[in-house]
Structure 1
Amino acid sequence: MNEKIEKIKQHAQDLRAEIELHNYRYYSLDNPTIADAEYDKRLRELQQIEQDYPQLITADSPTQRVGAAPLKAFSQIVHRIPMLSLSNAFEDAEVAAFDRRVCEGLSVDSVEYAVEPKFDGLAVSLCYEDGVFKTGATRGDGYTGEDITLNLRTIKSIPLSLPVENPPSLLEVRGEVLMLKADFLNLNQRQLAKGEKEFANPRNAAAGSLRQLDPGITATRRLTFFAYGVGEYQDSHMPLDKHSHVMAYLTLLHFPVAKECNVVRGFQELLAYYQTIEMRRESLPYDIDGVVYKVNSLKQQVQLGFVSRAPRFALAHKFPAQEAVTQLLGIDVQVGRTGALTPVARLKPVFVGGVTVTNATLHNADEIKRKDVHIGDTVIVRRAGDVIPEIVSVVLEKRSADTQIFTMPEHCPVCGAKAVQHADEAVSRCTGGLFCAAQRKQAILHFASRRAMDIEGLGDKLVEQVVDQAIVRTPADLYKLGLSALANLERMAEKSASNILRAIEKSKHTTLSRFIYALGIRNVGEATAKELAAHLGSLDRLIEAGSERLQCIPDIGPVVAQSIADFFAEAHNREVIEQLRACGVRWDEHEGISTLVVGMQPLHGKTFVLTGALPTMSREEAKEKIEALGGKVSNSVSKKTDYVVVGTDPGSKYDKALSLGISVLDETGLLELLK
């Protein structure tokens, strides 16, 4: 044997050893360390070598069998008929070649195919004797699988007995066990709540759940089964003509079958089905990684037969890889519209899921720690549809000594404000809400919203323009706007600009609670803002109050108190507030201070319901006036209601008030009561 053949032989041996290692990790340990695309690339390379040099084929080559040996923790079941794998296609030309080979092998011009999604789960065999489920096994190495009968019995979509009067004496149903996307999300939420490790994807979750030695654990995890064929059978009712008819028969026996199964004819219809399923992929309730084509005629399947590893009559047409291996070059930190700091991985460009990926989310510091991600690591990246790419795991065996541990910054990378992480959150947040450039649009939109400063007409499109053109940098800049600056904006005439300026001017006279809410302090909503205004009565008192003092106010806990303290600790936030005051934004100081002695509030304990349109003030204004004097405003009328305030077109609330004998007030009566 010459030197060239020796090198090729050694390379083939190396490939076999590597593929077998990955088979063990994927099928037996449920912990793959290589992306599917990389595995397929190695297997195809070995297949090509063995095709070019048949003398190098060995009996133990992974091209000659399927998967890996069963786990020793389970007893074994020998499959009556081997559970062979399918040949894969990745390009349209490979599908065309498959169709051509099938037609030539059958001496026909065109062939009818049964087509179905290719599930991304765990292949199993279910054996029924006299209509009763007796044993179930994994695929294993294709010839011998793991006995997981007790675990399979916990899956509610698998019938324990067949619903027919004369059941078959023997029926082996083959299919896939998987976890639906919604069930996978629920499982990981439960794992997080218990402080346990999350699963990387639904396939790993299903495989791990199915291989539990304790069936009680499997029973707590919602798994689903879909049938895709039969093995050995002794059944007089079994259709013997077409695969599609076999699948219809299985549905009559109460086996779940994918709704997306269909029948097509010829190469072009195969591709059309592939494209249809690929477009629907993200909306399907389960994960798939391609589609499967099978010659529909069972007689023609027998004619075509098998190669050593796969049937000649079937093909798996796989989608573009959604996972790939690349290098993590660095980690940047992005600041979101609400101040959340998100670490983003900078990657060596890699083609995955149909696009070139250069960045991937790392979610938060806890996620980086859980996955043990270092800068410089070799990582597996996943992309699914339009979902932001993410790092799935690190290939630890490729970690070098010069990788670097990453730590989240203590200050915002955009504005330099302090970054804090509260106990109830997984993310760090920038505290520079009023001046941070990354948060400008969100901060200004919130500041101008109806329940805050109520600047009518200042919506998303306008805020986007004034921020993008650097006309407005902080909420205080709104009160410095001139007519020409606004009128020159796109879709903004002079009249519209004048209306905006009038609304801005009107907003200057507000209430302390509205102003506090408008600042956009983390965890401070309308109700909290009212409590703060009522108990402190002064913005200066609020700014000076520390976390401990704030916690003395009812309903203000340590998390909210710390958010407020962190916000006012930033000098730039206080500077923007002073600019707002200098521009004329004002309110009645000490508003609601009487709530320190709630018994002195004239409307304390009184419940009001507002209905209909009031003549001179909005219902929101009426609500604020009532609450400022200790009253409560409810949305529904009951026996506990003290007053119903009625405007024009009052509706059923007015009728109910009359039927219950509740005092009814118009706007004039309300104003008299408020005096």
Structure 2
Amino acid sequence: MDEIKNKIDELRQKLNEHNYNYYVCNSPTISDRDFDMMMDELQKLEEKYPEFNDPNSPTQRVGNDINKSFSQVEHKYPMLSLGNTYTKEEVEAFYERVKSGLNDNFKIVGELKYDGTSISLTYINGKLVRAVTRGDGVRGDDVTENVKTIRSIPLQLRGSNYPKEFEIRGEILMPWTVFEALNEERERQEEPLFANPRNAAAGTLKSQNSAVVASRNLDAYLYYILGDGLPSDSHYENLQIARSWGFKISDAMKVCDTLDDMMSFIDYWDINRKNLPVATDGIVFKVSSLLQQKNLGYTAKSPRWAIAYKFQAERAITRLNSVSYQVGRTGTITPVANLEPVQLSGTIVKRASLHNDDIIQSLDLHIGDMVYVEKGGEIIPKITGVDKDTRMLIGEKVHFIKRCPECNTPLIRYEGEAAHYCPNEDGCPPQIKGKIEHFISRKAMNIDGLGPETIDLFYRIGWLKDVSDLYHLKENEIAEQERLGEKSAKNIVEAIENSRNVPFERVLFALGIHFVGETVAKKLANAFINIDALMNASEEDLISVDEIGIKIAQSIHKYFEKEGHLSLISRLKDAGLQFALSRERLENQSDRLKGATIVISGTFNHHSRDEYKLLIEQNGGKNTGSVSAKTSYLLAGENMGPAKLEKAKKLGIKIISETDFLEMIQS
């Protein structure tokens, strides 16, 4: 067994080193294939010999889909925010205050202020033991399992000269390339876009599914160390040493001896930050000596030894060449400004959303205008104004189109809505292809191997007119298409075959009925059991289902009124799709929790939170996220939120354990 243990340790050490070379040093020394083979070997050994499991093994980077709420952890050292300034004069005033407060020589360290979400990492004996968000500065959320998936954060430190226990703080970031790819995918699915990488990183870090976190390729820069027995009194030197322990420390740091050095640092990065792979929104200046930091102390909210200088929202001016219009899956028409390419916050911007006709009219846009484009707080590009003084030969005024740019159908605009729609949902090519893309998506039918380009190809050659045609695709014909081949064809056909087993609620979601998302589809499936009952339901029947309002009810009714949709469902039934709850699901259904509203909080031993939500729904109950006077029970697990517990006690809500709940639904 010693030989096995040594082999596992050797693989872990090598994989940690390769992770460091790839994600921190940006200089990989082996191929991705060799890395994956080594990882696979380690994973198989760990599965075969669970007695050698280690929570900080490199195999833990992939995350899992166990749904756990976050426990609250008190910070050993409060995570205070920095005082902000927006002018060089205020930076100079900070410098003078430090000079006056110390009455001694001092050095200032200039660092970039990365625009992500703050994190505190605790290491004991070189191993990551806890990762906690800022929270309210006193307490934060324990997100250790999610942070383990971030490959630039070491699980085991390199070398041996680190303190026995210390805390290092930094910023979790989403690189621009990852952010843009994520938003492109969300746009294809017609999901709300993330406003900026900071929001995307924060939302990802708080995901209940660490496998999702792993898939988002987050990054991290560390910038401050706390603890006893640190290598140096110099903040700058401590960070340089921490780099050798395996931490990703920014190269954009400078020791400033004078106020002029600080001003030069501002001037340099105000321009060069545009070329960085991650978002920044300013500069942080810190007194380097830890002893001097201690002597300067803190105000109630922030340290006196540090200040943040915020950059002005980056803005560029460029020419509006044209306006084009995109048709979404649900027929929404989105106007897009096509611009003369301009660099903005590290990316080349060629397009900006104009959102709707009201925005266009408020800007008084003309083709050829010089327009101001901003990423305020590094958000998605938007046009914020027009330089009307530069208008020479004024171009044509931008008017919103009257007909669909794809199928020429007259557009409609519903009362009270800003958007225009193409109503030709079953005959407009982008809507047809969009519906197919939605149908095959992971959360719907999960048919892998069919990307937008392949769907477009199959649509153009006449193989796909609607989603039912997927079930008539032939492997040999697919294999003959350029860039596909036998392996791709086999995978596509197998994925289509497997989709016949997808449960009813996901099939219902996959149909793409307007306003019927994942949650609504699940409630409808549980309420009506099969598609025929749903099709025959009146608007009153639909509204009687929890969380189904008149808007959703009318949309469902309208969908089933169309003969084409009834014909489509008939063809999908013939293809073998699941249009009723399974016998197993029906056997597990009861009305034991009918009328009960239950809030779940904490972590559990027997089931995940998602499984408990499903059990509540299967037994006729309702799950909500917050405690109120209407709450029947608080299902309390370990490390539950103290605020929910306190509110439940105050309102006299009955608090039940995991065992109590399981007995309730089995009685």
Smaller-chain TM-score bracket = 0.3 to 0.5
Q: Which has the larger radius of gyration?
A: 1
Q: Which has the higher contact order (CA 8 A, sep 6+)?
A: 2
TM-score w.r.t. length of structure 1: 0.40
TM-score w.r.t. length of structure 2: 0.41
